[in-house]
A and B are shown apart, each in its own frame.
Chain A
């Protein structure tokens, strides 16, 4: 999960350097990875609850 925070830090660096498209792409990748981790977490807790 530290890697996703790192992706956001890189995104901010890219914004600072004025690279718009790579920054937008990285943000979307980071959000997609967050959703993937959320999905994995959700399936694990569902197994515990059921």
Chain B
């Protein structure tokens, strides 16, 4: 059976965006259903996830390129460092941060760290699939990538509105 590596990489990029969208939507669910306002570190972790999705979107739109993976890796590292610091702050006994509701036994910042670690592993696997000939193939959006683009764009737009209503144009306290 002959499997086109390029098509697999495109599909994996689109699936990664959909998974990240699911995580961001679940964060919205916790925010509105359990009335848990996101802290500044939580918002920065959301930004990291949107950064990873942006790199994957570039792969879908402009073809698979190492520079796009570099952006995804940079976002993953930024997000995981923030999530790790969030975990460490809650381990500290005199933590100034409010305690949050656990979801499936783990706090959202721990889930966030797990998501970033899984993203890192996925990007590494995608880099293994990369061949230099992929770069030349500029693909137009397919149905799956159109859906993932629409969902992540709507989530980003929703984040602008919720962050603006919570903090305005200033830094969140």
Q: Which residues of A contact B (CB under 8 A)?
A: 1-6, 8-9, 11-12, 15-16, 18, 20, 23-24, 27-28, 30-31, 34-35, 37-38, 40-42, 45, 48-49
Contact = CB atoms under 8 A, between A and B. Distances in A.
A20 B141 CA distance: 15
Contacts of B172: 1
A45 B58 contact: no
Main secondary structure of the interface of B (DSSP, over half): helix
Contacts of A48: 96
A35 B78 CA distance: 7
A12 B82 contact: no
A6 B160 contact: yes
A45 B47 contact: no
A49 B96 contact: yes
